[in-house]
Structure 1
């Protein structure tokens, strides 16, 4: 038996009421009885409180017991109703049974009628509870099956608003909860997106709930479902004058809430709550799916946009040799439409003489993981465009080969530059051959004849000729060096500045000068060219750092060649990295510091004017910059910058 059974006994006969109450409460300690003397009083008690069974007489003031039964059935169809009367007839009994009475007992219908009444009440309550539980179980099972079938409708929904509408329709038709609606979150608000007609009948157009406002926001913020049997008892209700009494509030994840209301108190039992929770789970899953789909679509669009901005070709080749994905650059370059490209094999983009190399490169990519290939693309118009392709093996989640992904770069300009460089090198070879052979050979003959002339004649003019020959030979050497310095720096390796400076110092006639290496660093350079650059700078300091170019009155011991110091160190400013060669000689006038790099410019009697020009050319082919300035000692300082940071 239920722990507690509450009985409402409606009768205006005090003796019957007293006897029935005593019998019911004495026979079963779990029964409590409350009484009413009229139908109006009984209905008021039923509307304000909950009872497990109603016992009523037949001849009541203003109405009969059967009429009272009709009023009760309209309010609570399953509530047990026992008609317990001292008066009546077979017609009255028939009317009561037709109206849906649970039991019909006569007060004078045999021995111990009150004991029978107690057993009848208990039995009716238990049978009703069993019937309700069975009905609820059946309803729950049927509703769950229908909810699972509704999952297909959720899967077909392509927008959040469509999901909201499916949720509202399902709650109304399957869960039999006609007053319901969905609110979506938008920043600090919950705004209505779908609701039933019954909602408008109860409250009008659903309101927008702001942050911290109403019970709906509390459930959304905490993520916990709320069941309110009577919201009029909650101080946080949105509308104090609302006709809503019971309410279910179920969060839909971060998306919003599902609101289900009723004008009755305690309208939702455990089955209702369970089914509503199940519906909210389906709706939340559908909204999460749409959210993921939107994020994936946005990410895909972002990636496609990024790939389409490339000047290079981007492609994914499947294991069957067809293009599975490509950027807009491919149809722009090839002249084929996207539809045509989708039906083409990779080999269709290359001339016949490239097929073997392309197929071999794809096979190598799948086996070794990466390959680089130069091949010419054949466009729809028959044009051949040279490209460099870098392909990488593509694998799936299990590590199996899924194809090749790669980039193709137009190397037309590089090919043209290479051809131009080849022609330039050919002209350079021709020039150096003329300088090296066609000029040196006559000079060698002239020098030989001069030596013979010196044996027959002793003249100062012959010494002048000899000095001219020496200058010519120096010019030839510098011209060759200058020409070769213009070649690209291709043989790059890492060397130390200190080692290079010490090696170059050995080739400089600096017996009366001192080299000081103040700092060291690693330099990535063409070693032979770097040696020439450093040697020229050191030789320039030694040759021009003495007093030879000064007037006698300007000569001091401080600038005497015997005391000349040449310093080599590093430049490590915020945005400049490199090295310097500086001396404590007379320096270079500020107005001449740009001219010193011009070809043929020299202040020395025997200089060719190409030493610093060669320095500048070697720096340029490395991507460096050389500038002339003043050293801390007032002498000349040459800075070579633009090197990679140490």
Structure 2
């Protein structure tokens, strides 16, 4: 309920004015000031904030209509009720013509005071509402002079436009259109947002404040955005009588927001695409920002991470180091530290963390930002690189060894030719040179393809062994016997090198005459010799690169054998030869890799 209505009652009968005041003030929303003359009434009207005047008609010196004239000169709109005991149609007509708000004749009962109170109340409320509207319109006009917003005021049902300014600037529509049709602005609302706008209009008419942003269309279907704030204007009984507010063009702001949002989404996507862990730590030690990799690595979900201190992600014996690194970063330095994440399941994962001081635009510290990398993966890459280097070193040694045997054969055959004059030795030397050239081609292919074994075919082991024997021996006290044969699916050149190295091993390690025998096995073949054999404790080491029991040996011949075996998927067993007394190598192909 609003403040009480202030009523001025003028009547020349003191007893009557007291009676009227008594009855009117029984109404809680009315307060009465009484005077017994028109002159005194005008003085009171000038100094008091009167919202309704009640006056008798027949008074000495100045009657009620003359008093009305004086009041109207001071305020042309204040309600004036003529309450008189002398009534006639003539007086009533004159009063109405003079501009009284209401005319009421005094009666004999007390009900008349209730009627009078109602008429005073209704007239005063309308007067208040009118004054409020005028004051509001004046304020709106003052605001409109200093703003580019569209300022507006409508009746509560939106049927009448009471005030508008800046309509053309914001909406891009002629102001005459909204003056003729108060709902013209709805035609400028984007079609997809019209139902929403009608909804907030209803909310405002129902007495709710509104604060909303929606789209509008201007000109050639140009889409813009406006921000609207509105307030309901209520009368004394709480009913909405008007709605007032402003509409502001926020198109540029929305475009900036959209651009910023797109940039944020891009950054978010880029951060989450990182395999490394990304993090922002606040000055209180909690994580303010992180990427998906942190959750994937640690096993904690986002809600858990938000409640954790940064040191809680690490094993107990690493936490002090992390705390020191955080403080160092806060003090202005860039830090790098190795520590182990301890996952939600207790697994420890080594990482390298980097962090740098993070500040706001004013230079105030707000935390640190950094990344964490799977040192274990880096170390695995380092180990793999080391293994590759070792394999290249081993390959270089194997190549050197495999070339050495036919070259020595060439040299030996040429020396024999020079000593004996036997042209057959020259032919053997030329054959050895041909094998060197073939081996060179094999090596080139192997290096380019990074494969020890090339395409396979069905190979006769006996024939390949005899070819390899010619490339190995120049000793007359060395003999080869091939008992039977077996066919295998193999790279013929690689198999020749394997046999060549086994045969060379037998010849080179024999202190005197040596006999070598090759025979078939159920799943492969064997090579046995009459030499001194291989001690059992060295049989696992014999295929290790660099291992040799021969003075000046390279230890690469048997390493080459291991490479070729592994590339074919074969295996080899080293035992004693019961028949010849030396060593026996059994080359065993896997099931299905043998051709009988």
Q: TM-score, normalised by structure 2?
A: 0.35
Q: TM-score, normalised by structure 1?
A: 0.33
